[in-house]
Amino acid sequence: METVDRGTADRRALKHVAIREYVRDLVAGCAPGTAAPSERDLVERFSVARMTVRQALDALVTEGVLQRFPGRGTFVAPPRRRPSRVASFTEDMAGRGAVAESRTLLAEKVKSPAGVARALGLVPREPVLRWRRLRLADGSPVCLSDAYISSSLVPGLLDGPDLPDSLYDELTARGRRPTWAEDSLSAGVATPDEAALLECPEGAVVIRLTRRALWEDRPIEISRSVYRADQHTVSFQLGG
């Protein structure tokens, strides 16, 4: 079996890093779509094997500095977009030019249902906070929200006579604002209870949104919200 001594391996690694940083500096400030140096040019310039050059370029592709198109070559990549900030209902409405309000329908500590415990990474029936609210925009009912929050991460959240105006503002103040969220959307029709609260006809079209929000890598909230489809538009930011 062929062996490679440590010194040779270290020199190859240094070559790979040198090529990577050379290309990085070369394309810095170039417009997206600008052609990167070809593998052949880099092989000749650095007198290395093509595999070493490819390793350096692969690293820059992974970082998002370059993008590769089979049959065409390697080019400067467009800037990567950061995921949108996880927005609260209050922030969402403010962005639409509306004033948000909330009416608490239920606020209590309960034993977590099996599905909620699983989503929050808890032991079944471990205590959680349940906060059910009617959300309004400029005085009109828009959304019915039922949130379960990990009580161990936000102790005392629902204690006291005055509840927070915004859950996410309160989490921010505690240094536990969600940094990531998984949202799931579906269409449905309003149940009699939902129709009465949302002031819409029974059977009217609604948007159902389920969110699992995480603070760092720890699930902190699972919520199920029902929006009046005639009062709310869902927006997304997508990037390739």
Structural domain spans, the chain: 6-76, 89-228
At position 166, the amino acid (one-letter code) is S
Tokens of 180: 């990531």
Give the residue among 159, 178, 158, 155 at the shortest CA–CA distance from 168.
178
Could you tell me how far CA 228 lies from the centroid of its own chain? 24
Please state the pTM of the whole predicted model. Answer: 0.64
- In the prediction, which pLDDT does 11 show? 54
Indicate the class that CATH gives domain 6-76: mainly alpha
| Alpha carbon distance 10, 13 (integer Å) | 5
Nearest CA to 237 out of 111, 95, 127 is that of 95
Q: Which CATH architecture has domain 89-228?
A: 3-Layer(aba) Sandwich (3.40)
pLDDT of residue 4: 44
Can you give the pLDDT of all 240 residues of the chain as single tens digits? 444 454 454 455 578 788 988 999 999 889 889 999 999 999 999 999 898 888 889 888 887 889 988 888 899 988 765 555 788 888 888 888 889 999 999 999 999 999 999 899 888 889 999 999 999 999 999 999 999 999 889 988 888 778 888 899 999 999 999 988 888 999 999 999 999 999 999 999 999 999 999 988 789 999 999 999 998 887 765 544
